[in-house]
Copies of this chain bind each other. A is one copy, B any other.
């Protein structure tokens, strides 16, 4: 369907549900993609949600459940018996989605649902998958695979693939393993279309296959799939046995989450929030950073209060406090962001660390000189106080230099300490640079006012 029409459809479906208009509701859900139906769920009462769910067929209901946001899903599953969850949802999902959704349930509910899964083998697979940490390749992978033995020929393989294909949603790649289940290569469907049916798989398999281990971090999985333009990525255990595959759509979500997290960090928001979250959540995500800013402000007040007497004589010293703190903050955030982004994108550079620091230092000096020269010119024209003019320019130069180096150094340090370097962007770096900049400004001021 044409994407443009979707928003209208969503609005009309919502109206049909409110009016309990079975026929219209049913027709609209038939037209809409599960991801769009999930949008509607967000604004339904629990009664309306149940009504809508009863009108969906099992397969579609399962797809919608996967697309729901975590909190919507939690609310909805809470009111359903474990047997319904197992039979109508879990049984209609791929193993990785089933494991993700089960993992969200409280412990006793988990066991209740698992006990109702009809296919014991599937229940076992789901339990195995839940044992991998969420943020690793094992936690991302699904076990729905089409595999052929390297010793089969094309005809046997096609027959086996037909059998296996019934359990798998989409076939992008066929994996080739040896008798011990060790990953040996991939088989592109294109190749299968082109060769004779008696050809041995061994001879047409592509052995140049990129894979990860179950323990590989999800961010690295995302980087690998992006770098090598992969649609699926096989996952092996420590001895190389094929355990599952990760598909690009799961990784796209990881990438967006990572990007959102870094963006939020630099904006001073601590949690993953969305505009439709409630007031309490929105406040909780923002207040912590503001408290850091508040403490920083109080410390800055302390620093300035040491200069109370000077300010009484030279009140013009106060004029440029906002300029100094703002520039320190801006320069610091720029420097740290460049480092954080390079680390996040894994922009593997062959430059030495020394060269990197030297470069950052050069940029800081150019910026510092340009900005100081401008403010020097301005103050020479406008200000009556020569001491103030010199103070502002030299303090600004020092602050730009300090903030650049500090902003570059801190995320590198955090990364070395295995702490998320994104912590070093946003309010944290701004607050420290505010205070440092202020101290530099006031010390420089005292010196120049003593000379002139």
Contact = CB atoms under 8 A, between A and B. Distances in A.
Interface of A: 1-3, 7, 10, 14, 33, 35, 39-40, 42-43, 158, 161-162, 165-166, 168-172, 188-190, 193-194, 208, 210-212, 216, 220, 224-231, 247-249, 252-253, 255-256, 259-260, 262-264, 266-269, 273-276, 279, 282-283, 286-287, 289-291, 293-294, 296-298, 300-301, 304-305, 308-309, 311-312, 315-327, 329-331, 333-334, 336-339, 341-342, 345, 347-351, 356, 359, 362-363, 366-367, 370-371, 374-375, 378, 400, 425-427, 430-431, 434-435, 438
Given A211-B2, A293-B326, A348 B39 contact: yes
Contact of A210 (B3, B7, B42, B158): B3
A421 to B, nearest CB: 13
B297 A308 contact: no
Contacts of A367: 283, 286-287, 290
Copies of this subunit? 2
A294 B274 CA distance: 33
A428 to B, nearest CB: 11
B210 A190 contact: no
Contacts of A247: 231
B350 A274 contact: no
Nearest to A331: B290
| Secondary structure dominating the interface of A | helix
Given A274-B342, A318-B304, A325-B326, A33 B337 contact: no
Nearest to A302: B319
Nearest to A7: B348
Given A305-B319, A378-B298, A161 B193 contact: yes
Nearest to A356: B275
Contact of A333 (B43, B268, B279, B362): B268
Contacts of A266: 263, 266-267
7 contacts: A3-B220, A39-B350, A43-B351, A226-B252, A231-B249, A275-B349, A322-B435
Contacts of A188: 170-171
B311 A315 contact: yes
A406 to B, nearest CB: 15
A66 B324 CA distance: 45
B228 A33 contact: yes
A339 B275 CA distance: 7
Contact of A298 (B171, B216, B267, B323): B323
B347 A276 contact: yes
Contacts of A362: 279
A378 to B, nearest CB: 6
Contact of A434 (B263, B311, B322): B322
